């Protein structure tokens, strides 16, 4: 009777261990299956995106055989060129303005220096004139 209990316990333990191992293996297998399914879905999505991109490119190439599309492309290119030229023109105008302003400032500075030099010369002349006139008046006395 005791051996029967031990045998039953051993069988139950073996069954539980086998069931646990099977469950663990199933869990691992399920996880691997989920990961594989996710990877497949991701690859499928990427393939669809690439196909859509290729389809768009092909449509653009086909559409551009029509004269209206060519005209639109030419107009867009012309607009881009005009915008670039306008930007360059604006930059050149700004450069010219700054150059003119710098030249004006330089001219003003030169004129101020000339005035200062003239004032200094005049003041030195007037001081020498006044000293010479005072010496002449004292000698006549």
Q: Between the CA of residue 63 and those of 49, 68, 78, 79, 103, what are the distances in Å?
A: 21, 9, 20, 21, 56
Q: What pLDDT is recorded for position 101?
A: 94
Q: What is the pLDDT of residue 107?
A: 94
In the prediction, which pLDDT does 64 show?
A: 56
pLDDT for residue 22: 64
- According to the model, what pLDDT value does residue 46 have? 86
- In terms of DSSP H, where are the helices of the chain? 2-63, 67-140
In the prediction, which pLDDT does 37 show?
82
CA contacts within 13 A on the Cβ side of 3: 0
* pLDDT number for residue 62: 64
Per-residue confidence in pLDDT tens, the chain, 141 aa: 555 555 665 676 667 666 666 666 666 667 777 788 888 888 888 888 888 888 877 776 665 556 667 778 888 889 999 999 888 888 889 999 999 999 999 999 999 999 998 888 887 777 666 665 555 555 554
pTM for the whole structure: 0.33
| Distances 92 to 85, 88, 95, 106 between C-alpha atoms, Å | 10, 6, 5, 21
């Amino acid at each position: 009777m005791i051996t029967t209990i031990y045998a039953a316990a051993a069988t139950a333990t073996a069954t539980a261990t086998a069931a646990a191992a099977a469950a663990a293996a199933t869990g691992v297998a399920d996880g691997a299956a989920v990961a594989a399914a996710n990877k497949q879905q991701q690859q499928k999505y990427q393939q669809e995106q690439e196909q859509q991109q290729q389809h768009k490119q092909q449509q653009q190439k086909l559409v551009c055989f029509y004269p209206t599309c060519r005209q639109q492309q030419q107009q867009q290119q012309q607009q881009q060129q005009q915008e670039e030229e306008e930007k360059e023109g604006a930059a050149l105008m700004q450069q010219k303005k700054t150059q003119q302003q710098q030249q004006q400032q330089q001219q003003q500075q030169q004129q101020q220096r000339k005035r200062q030099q003239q004032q200094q010369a005049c003041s030195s002349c007037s001081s020498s004139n006044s000293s010479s006139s005072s010496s002449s008046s004292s000698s006549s006395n």
